[in-house]
Amino acid sequence: MVIINTQGIVLKSVPYKENDLILTIFSRKLGKVSVIARGAKKSKSSLLSSSQIFAYSNFTLKREGNMYRVTQSEIIKSFYNLSYDFEAFSYATYILKLIDSFIIENQPNNRLFILLAQSLYLFCEEDIDMEYVSLCFKLKFLEYIGFKPIVNTCVSCYNKDFKNPVFNVYEGGILCEKCSEHFEHNLKINITTTKLMDYILKNDVLICSKAKVSKYLINELSRILKIYMNEYLGKINEKSLNLLKSLNKKGVE
């Protein structure tokens, strides 16, 4: 009999049979894993609160055949209030989808687990630039899954002293002005944006969230990361974020 106690965050909750739920959990000890929560749909179930999307809990999991069953759970943080803020909900569901889509089951990634928990916490805070926090998540997510872009040195000549860099997706990062002449498909990038990316990669997301970043830099970072992620991860469904941006534009108009 295999019994495991682990912290986990619910990425997805799908109804199964009459009263059960199949949960996709991103856990500290097991990484992403699918588990069954029997009776969790019942209003008096002790598993109800920890079976909701975003829920951060201590789980006791028992191995049963090819799956784990949740035998006990204790909520640490529900993050339930994310569901009442469309902007927060949109960004939070997007980062959960990234993990669910690109993380292989049963591969623990403690740095990514901490990043996810901290990001959800930030989305619940007031006076937080959620778009900027989501970009911090994306950049650090790329690093933690092995696709970190090089932003503090030229990827060709390794020169760190450059003034007019470009970003080349296919080369995996920054090219100095001299080297850029030998490569195609270069993207313009402000040197301050490269410094921002370096800052994000070197610091905790909680620290990064305190920085005051201009809309210009956020827009440029968003553009670069979208192209980069589409190349290395494939086209990502951003339906919720596109809807959010559309509503924000209408609000401005």
Q: Tell me, what's the pLDDT at 162? A: 85
Q: What is the mean pLDDT of residues 240-244?
A: 61
Q: Cα–Cα distance between 223 and 217 in angstroms, integer?
A: 10
pLDDT band at 243 (very low <50, low <70, confident <90, very high): low
Beta strands 3-16 and 20-27: pairing type? antiparallel
* pLDDT digit string, tens, across residues 124-141: 998 899 999 999 999 999
Backbone angles phi, psi at 21, to 5 degrees: -135, 140
Query: Residue 252: is its pLDDT beyond 50?
Result: no
Instruction: Tell me the one-letter amino acid at 120.
Output: L
Strands (E), the chain: 3-16, 20-27, 31-37, 56-64, 67-77, 166-168, 173-175, 187-188
Picking from 56, 60, 54, the residue whose alpha carbon sits closest to that of residue 35 is 60
Q: Cα–Cα distance between 33 and 247 in angstroms, integer?
A: 35
Q: Tell me, what's the pLDDT at 39? A: 93
Q: Cα–Cα distance between 253 and 245 in angstroms, integer?
A: 12
Q: Which residues have CB under 8 Å from 210's CB, separation 6+?
A: none
Q: Is 205 helix (H, G, I), strand (E, B) or coil?
A: helix
pLDDT above 70 covers a percentage of the chain that reads 93
Give the CA-trace dihedral at 183, 188, 189, 191, to 10 degrees: 70
Q: Tell me, what's the pLDDT at 65? A: 85
* pLDDT digit string, tens, across residues 58-107: 999 999 888 899 999 999 999 988 989 999 999 999 999 999 999 999 99
Q: Which residues have CB under 8 Å from 42's CB, separation 6+?
A: 19, 48
Query: Residue 179: is its pLDDT beyond 60?
Result: yes
Picking from 173, 174, 171, the residue whose alpha carbon sits closest to that of residue 162 is 174
Q: pTM of the entire structure?
A: 0.91
